Structures are given as structure tokens and as C-alpha cells.
Amino acid sequence: MIIDKAEVVVTSPDRNFVTLKLTTDEGHTGLGDATLNGRELAVVSYLRDHVVPLLIGRDASRIEDTWQFLYRGAYWRRGPVTMAAIAAVDMALWDIKGKAAGMPVYQLLGGASRNGLMAYGHASGKTNEELFDSIRQHQEQGYRSIRVQTGVPGLKAIYGIASQSADAGGGEARYDHEPARRGALPTEEDWDTRAYLRHIPGVFEAVRNEFGPELPLLHDAHHRLTPIQAAKLGKSLEPYDLFWLEDCTPAENQEALRLVRQHTTTPLAIGEIFNTVWDYQQVIREQLIDYVRSAVTHTGGITHLKKVLDYASQYQIKSGMHGPTDVSPVGMAAAMHLGLAIHNFGIQEYMQHGSRTNEVFQQSFTWNDGYLHPGDQAGLGVELDLDEAGRYPYEQAYLPFNRLADGTVHDW
């Protein structure tokens, strides 16, 4: 089973996606997601110029060896570009192995540990009324767990809120589903941490009063708080029993979460911009988090994220894999197979791709009554329609950035 063809496909149906397609001499094909939101072409070059030439002629069955070869062999380790490229190769090889074996990938990982994956969606609103409507819409779509993001009085544009900044060239895409706007420059948003901290507890009080105590609620602070601000927020949200508080501080400083943990019992999730187990070393060993947020796509593929999650399982830390629309249907399928197989699955983020994306990527997963399942097709269960993909060439797009009232750039 020799790799004799490797293609890097860039397509932009509803947004940009980078996909690696491997073909073996026996005719098996495998797909891997290499999409890095806002920096897509860097990974394209990494793959086309530096990795594809190394893959031709390799034994497609040697997944672990290929992973180690690409990680250690590059000398320059880690980082989102490198790890997204390695992830794409890894996913494609698991896809091929599954097809060669005639089994879905989750069977190769040990088989199903559950019937389906509980998934959460993103409800948002500029006001509580809009937010309540959004929560009800998500419940009608089957969601049993809801992330709550809300506008803050005095701020024009905030991460995660629908129907704002939508006029910056992004067509009809909802901002809360796709913050990366097409265009030559990133859009600017504003931020005020004190206003945010004053406003949020009242929003969760209102949501609990409206929807009751049982609905699992999540919230994303999107890396914007200092440790003591994050501690204050976690403490103030304790009465509303959050499923998790996500990315409360910038993720680079693992030690910051010690201070947050000292002050609050609100569960913490972090890691969507982490790339390797080394980024989690301290927060897992010291039990500073409750959920691992990494996507398969940005953490070196199924092979490496499974090692991260096995390490986390020693400390009763669960998965909460990143599932925004910039994780392609291939990356989402990989997450579903891994999540179905591991014991320490927690929850899966699921935002739903647009109709054009679903025509480019034919998918076997199911979504029933709040639960995802990857389906039982051999491999990952996703096929790429190259003709459809070719209709949507790459379009430059950037994530927004933040400035404070005095003009200082702040974490977005």
C-alpha cells in the first residue's frame, strides 16, 4: 500500500478549506483537513513544497512512523502550521487504513464507547430577548447543550454575536458562525473587560430563570481576561452552574490557571489554539482544566490528539474538541471517530457547515436528537467532490482583531 499521489486542494465554498488527498497504488484514497483559519496558504505551502515530496513512495500503512518522521524529521517542531500539515497527513492515512480494512476509523481506535456524541451549538444575541430566541432555535434544531454569548452595552462588535460585522464582505454567512471576513484587511472590533464582567452574570441569571436549571450552558471568554479577572468571572458565574468557562485567559501561560482555580469551581476548558501535548503538560498534570479543547486538525491529527486525551484521562479530564466552521467536514469526521472511541469524551462543539460546503464534502455523519455519530462507512466517511471544489477558488479572509477605547490592541 504505497502512496503514489498527494494533492493539496484549496476550496472556498462558504469559507476557505485546505484538504490533503492521498491516493495509494491500490487505488485507496484518504482525506485530511489542514485548514488554519486566516493563514490557510501557509499550510498549503508547507504541504505542497515540503511534505508532499516526502510522501510519494511511502508505505501508507505506517501511520505512527510517518507521524514521527514528519514531526522529528523537520527538526523545527510544533506550531499551528506544522501541526495542521501533519494532522492532514495523519487523518488521510487513518482514512486509507479504514478503507483498506473495510471499517470506520472508530472501529480501528477500539470501537464505540457510547451511542453518540453530545454536541453543543452557539446561541447568541445582542440583547437577552435575541439570545432567548437563539437558544430556542437551537433547541428546535435538536441541541441539548448551548453556548451562550451576548452583546455588552457600549460595545459595537463582540466575538460570537450574530448579525453584527456582517457587512464586511462575507455575504450571507452569520457572523457567529463565521467570524473570518473575506477581504484584504481584518475587521476591527472593540473591547472593554470591565463592562463585560459587569454584564455577563446578569445574562446567565436571566437565561437560568427562563430555561431552568437543567440545560447545560457554556461560555467562551476568548482569551481576553487576566488571571484575576478570570477568577472573578468564574466565581460570579458559579450560581448558574456552567458546563464550562472556555479560554478565560490567553492560553500561552499555563500557570495563569493556577490562580483561576484557587478562586472558582466553575469548570474550565482550554486548548483550541494548542498544538501538542507539551502545551497541556502543566494544565493536565496540575489538574488546572476540566476539558481539552483541541481539534484533531490543529493538534497533529488523530494519532497525537489521542495521546493528549489518554494523558488527560489519567486526571479525569475530558474532551471538548473544537468544532467551528473552519474545521472542515473532514476534520469534524476525525473528531467524531475519535470522540466515539475514547472513554473520556466530554462534549463536541458542532456549528453546522453551510449548504455549499456540504455539496463539496459528501459526509456520512448523522445528527439526531442532540447527538452526532460519524456513520459506518469505511474510513472517515467523507468524500471530496473535486468538480464542486473547483467552483470555489480561495478568497483572502482574516479573523477580526480588537482595540480598547484608547486604541491599544487587545486579545481577540
What is the closest distance, in whole angstroms, from the C-beta atom of residue 176 to Mg ion in the complex?
12
CA neighbours closer than 13 Å in the CB half-sphere of residue 103: 12
Q: Which of the following is catalytic: 122, 177, 222, 373?
A: 222
Question: Closest by alpha carbon to 315, among 361, 362, 268?
Answer: 268
What is the closest distance, in whole angstroms, from the C-beta atom of residue 163 to Mg ion in the complex?
20
Place of cell 475514547: 342
What is the closest distance, in whole angstroms, from the C-beta atom of residue 290 to Mg ion in the complex?
15
Please name the helix (run of DSSP H) or strand (run of DSSP E) that holds residue 65, with its range, or none: helix 63-73
Q: Which is nearer to Mg ion, 90 or 220 (CB)?
A: 220
d(CA 246, CA 220): 4
106, three cell numbers: 472508530
397 Cβ contact list (under 8 Å, min separation 6): 15, 16, 38, 170, 180, 181, 182, 183
Strand segments, DSSP code E, in 78-143 are 117-125
What is the closest distance, in whole angstroms, from the C-beta atom of residue 112 to Mg ion in the complex?
27
* Burial of 65 per CB tally in 10 Å (0-12, 13-18, 19+): exposed
Three-state SS at 244: strand
Q: Which is nearer to Mg ion, 321 or 380 (CB)?
A: 321
Backbone angles phi, psi at 143, to 5 degrees: -65, 135
d(CA 66, CA 89): 8
Residue 222 annotated among the catalytic residues of the structure: yes
User: Counting runs of H as helices and runs of E as strands, what totals does the chain give?
Assistant: 14, 20
Q: Which is nearer to Mg ion, 176 or 220 (CB)?
A: 220
d(CA 85, CA 81): 6
Contact 183, 400 (CB under 8 A): no
Place of cell 460519524: 374
d(CA 90, CA 262): 38
What is the closest distance, in whole angstroms, from the C-beta atom of residue 129 to Mg ion in the complex?
25
Q: Which is nearer to Mg ion, 245 or 312 (CB)?
A: 245
Q: Which is nearer to Mg ion, 178 or 220 (CB)?
A: 220
Q: Which is nearer to Mg ion, 99 or 222 (CB)?
A: 222
Place of cell 480561495: 394
Torsion of CA 132, 138, 140, 143, to 10 degrees: -130
Q: Which is nearer to Mg ion, 107 or 164 (CB)?
A: 164
What is the closest distance, in whole angstroms, from the C-beta atom of residue 221 to Mg ion in the complex?
9
CA angle 161, 166, 167 (to 5 degrees): 155
Eight-class DSSP state of 7:
E
Q: Which is nearer to Mg ion, 90 or 326 (CB)?
A: 326
d(CA 263, CA 171): 43
Question: Closest by alpha carbon to 29, among 271, 318, 382?
Answer: 382
Q: Which of the following is catalytic: 71, 159, 175, 350?
A: 159
What is the closest distance, in whole angstroms, from the C-beta atom of residue 248 to Mg ion in the complex?
11
Please name the helix (run of DSSP H) or strand (run of DSSP E) that holds residue 308, with its range, or none: helix 301-313
Residue ranges in contact with Mg ion by CB under 5 A? 220
What is the closest distance, in whole angstroms, from the C-beta atom of residue 1 to Mg ion in the complex?
38
Active-site residue set: 159, 222
